Amino acid sequence: MVALSMADGYARATGKAQAVLVHYPSTLEGEERGTRTEFVNYLQDIPDQAAIVRQYCRYTNEIRNSNNVKQVVARALQIASSSPKGPVYLYAARETLERDTKPLKLQSKLWKPIGPAALPEEAVREISEALVSSKEPLIVTGYSGRNAGAPTELVKLADTIPGLRTLDTSMGDMCFPANHPAWLSGRYSSHPSIPEADLILVLDCDVPFVPVQCRPSPTAKVYHIDIDPLKRSMAMYHVDAVGLWQADSYTAIKQINTHLSRPEYANDLKSLRYLTSAASREQSHNQLLSEIAHSAIPTLGSNTPLTAALIAAELKRSLPTTTKYAVEAVTNTASTYDQL
């Protein structure tokens, strides 16, 4: 578990796949190099090792032949590094890894991950026009921040559409900066902005809302851009969207920003309605920040209960601004996220 945690953390920080070696011996009496030599070797040989993790992996396979180890590993890394990125699981008998093999050199340039997918031009135009005409536009995102360039493009979009707001319903990756007036913080399952919006752009998000708790207005337009909008690994999943596209979110938002820079949108984006929307958004954001700050102030003259907000606020005050936080707060995730 230590090795897996190290590999997972490094992969998240760098975007580069890491490897942890898993093997098992399958022979009993020294028939081959790598045979069983310890008590624990008997416990490692189970009928279907990959079944333990198969449902949570992009790809699983057994290395059965010592002569194609490099190809199997290269394919696994290619899948792990292609969006939607995720873990892969390879396992091999120790005897296979001990066998002599012929030298083989692979060209890594021929095993690259899949490149990012873009929106079709008509989708870019449709979403852009809907954003410009909307009075209460909202972006609901979850993990678009896995691409370090995505937050910058979202900020650019929010600066272009002064009434646009962003909600994070995953709170795992930094998708949008808290110091921007479009930031609505992060919440699971529900948020008041969802039923109020007349346009919602769901962007790289597994659970934008839980319908029994919160749902968009029946008159709202919902668009869904995701590397996997159908969520094929979920047995049941659906978002009522008038348009959904399988595309890279960074590429898609960049396309929309480029489209909105055209001269035909200039007058609309400088109208009085937009100036009013910008002022209202600024005011709401200042109030939100004030409420978050107030939740982390100890009560004077009494015994203040120790809360997640107080602890997170103290951590932020005490630690360097470059600190990276790994949050496993479960039910306290939202208040911890607000403070950090």
User: Is 162 in contact with 190 (CB distance < 8 Å)?
Assistant: no
Q: What is each CA distance from 262 to 46, 128, 153, 158, in whole angstroms? A: 61, 11, 16, 16
Q: How is residue 169 written in tokens?
A: 């319903």
User: Is 200 in contact with 222 (CB distance < 8 Å)?
Assistant: yes
Q: Label the pairing between strands 137-141 and 23-24.
A: unpaired
Residue whose entry in the numeric block shows the structure tokens 């969207």? 241
- Whole-model pTM? 0.87
Q: For every one of its 340 residues, what pLDDT tens digit does the chain have, with 9 covering 90 and above?
A: 788 888 888 888 888 888 887 778 888 888 988 888 888 888 877 888 888 888 889 999 999 888 889 999 999 999 999 988 889 999 888 898 889 888 888 998 999 999 999 999 999 999 999 999 999 999 999 999 989 999 999 999 999 998 999 999 999 888 999 999 999 999 999 999 999 999 999 999 999 999 999 999 999 999 999 999 999 889 999 999 999 999 999 999 999 999 999 999 888 887 767 888 888 999 999 999 999 999 888 777 667 678 889 999 999 999 998 898 888 888 899 999 999 9
Cis check for the bond before 84: say yes or no (omega within 30 of 0).
Answer: yes
Go through the domains of the chain in sequence order and give each one's CATH number. Answer: 2-110 (3.40.50.970), 121-294 (3.40.50.1220), 295-340 (no CATH)
Alpha helices by DSSP H, listed for the chain, are 2-14, 40-44, 69-80, 94-98, 121-133, 150-160, 193-196, 249-260, 266-269, 272-294, 308-318, 333-339
Alpha helices by DSSP H, listed for 236-332, are 249-260, 266-269, 272-294, 308-318
Query: 128: Cβ–Cβ under 8 A, 6 or more apart, which residues?
Result: 256, 259, 260, 265
H/E segment holding residue 229: none
